[in-house]
Amino acid sequence: MSEKQISVEELKVGMYLTGMDKPWWETPFLMHKFLLKTDVEIQKIVDCDVREVTIDVSKGADVVKASVRVESQVAVLDDPDEDEAFRIDDVIPDIEPEPEPDPEPEIEFSYEDIVVLITDDDPNGRQILTKRLKKVFGCVVLEAEHGGKAIPLLHEQSPDILVLDLMMPVKDGRSVFTYIQTNDELIGIPVVIHSAQNTADAILPVLHKKPIGYLVKPVELEELKEKLQPAFDAAVARRRGTPLFKPYRIKCEGMAAIIKLYDFDVRSSNQLIVQLDPIVKGGVTQLIFDLSCFETNETTGGQQGIRSLFRDLRERSLTIGVCGMSETHSFAKIVRIFGGQILDVTLADLLAR
């Protein structure tokens, strides 16, 4: 790679960018290695007060064109009676593009394909629950006697559902739940709490972590089926790659659209942009994002989703406000970079004005 530092004024469409004098989170770009395709991209770099950039002079549109260009080579026909010259380009046949492969058939999943990991230090309890799960749902069941053994199984076996006791030796259920919610690989696994703790002081802090269900031991067969059904539906939807629950809700109030976010990633961002298009064309000029119920998910996926959303919205000349988020939240900086305003009021107060 042959790199060269130049001033931002020297940037041209077709150059291959490899770095800037600002970190990526202070610019509209998720990465600083890409081919400059339009003047708009250059203007975005200028708008971020970037002074110097690094380019790879061995890449770029001009280099690519030069590598494939056929120079004005001339060949003479062997026939002496024919005095016509022709370009090599003229005799190179057009290459037909290869046909696109047929799309893979969609795979159907059922409860029998779902793998459940039971984590409980009571061997008898695990045995009873395993038999009942197999009887009701016909699923595959794995077992772990405490959180210390559950975490390696979560990574190695990729179970679809975790049934989790709270009070266990080595590593308790709360620690395992916290670990899942902060791990990019595991976040999103439906978690069902299965515990003998039945007081409000014990249950409420766990419910704030948003498990998909809470079962108090002992559990009858009908209750088990009723409470675990949503977890199995969520697991099947997750296998198919389609979210069971919408990660956002949209409500229009006059010239404003209120978007309540619950959970977010890049896919959710793309879906939301598609839904906002007709709303914006219909005359909405203000977007208010309510993050008061937003999942505390500061993982890479969550950050990329928020960045993707606000990057797209910045091009639409909309007034964007965000409430329900503190100034110290890691997403707050991303919101400000892309022209959003963090509102120091609740959504209810805002609507009451």
pLDDT at 103: 52
CA proximity to 193, closest of 237, 147, 156: 147
**Same domain (yes/no): 199, 137:** yes
- Reported confidence tier of residue 64, pLDDT bands at 50, 70, 90: very low
Bridge-partner residues for 251, per DSSP? 258
| CA–CA distances in Å: residue 329 to residues 57, 291, 296, 297 | 39, 11, 10, 11
- Reported confidence tier of residue 101, pLDDT bands at 50, 70, 90: low
Domains of the chain: total: 3
Give this prediction's pTM: 0.44
Q: Which domain holds residue 216?
A: 111-240
DSSP per position, 316-334 = TT-EEEEES--TTSHHHHH
Cis, peptide link before residue 218, omega less than 30° from 0: yes
Q: How far is 238 from 254, CA to CA, in rounded Å?
A: 36
Contact present, 52 and 3 (Cβ < 8 Å):
no
Q: How far is 334 from 306, CA to CA, in rounded Å?
A: 8
Question: In this structure, which amino acid lies at residue 271?
Answer: Q
| CA–CA distances in Å: residue 208 to residues 199, 212, 295, 314, 346 | 15, 11, 10, 33, 20
**Same domain (yes/no): 234, 117:** yes
pLDDT at 121: 94
Pick from 199, 218, 240: which residue ends a domain?
240
- CA angle, 88 then 94 then 95, to 5°: 120
pLDDT at 152: 92
* Residue 19 main-chain phi, psi, to 5 deg: -175, 160
**Same domain (yes/no): 59, 77:** yes
**Same domain (yes/no): 193, 286:** no
- Rg (the chain; Cα; Å): 28
End-to-end CA distance of the chain: 58
| Range from 135-144, 170-179, 220-229, 339-348 carrying the lowest mean pLDDT | 339-348
User: Is pLDDT of 66 > 90?
Assistant: no
Tokens representing 311 are 């990057």
Neighbours of 180 (CB within 10 A): 20
Mean pLDDT value across the chain: 75
Q: How far is 214 from 177, CA to CA, in rounded Å?
A: 13
Once rounded to an integer, what is the mean pLDDT over residues 318-339?
79
DSSP per position, 13-46 = TT-EEEEESS-GGGSS-S-S-EE---HHHHHHHH
**Same domain (yes/no): 136, 44:** no
**Same domain (yes/no): 199, 296:** no
**Same domain (yes/no): 178, 87:** no
User: Is pLDDT of 130 > 90?
Assistant: yes
Contact present, 340 and 321 (Cβ < 8 Å):
yes
**Same domain (yes/no): 12, 97:** yes
pLDDT at 71: 40
| Range from 74-88, 89-103, 213-227 carrying the lowest mean pLDDT | 74-88
pLDDT at 68: 41
**Same domain (yes/no): 115, 227:** yes
With tokens 């999943």, the residue in question is 109
- Reported confidence tier of residue 262, pLDDT bands at 50, 70, 90: low
pLDDT at 309: 80
Q: How far is 321 from 326, CA to CA, in rounded Å?
A: 13
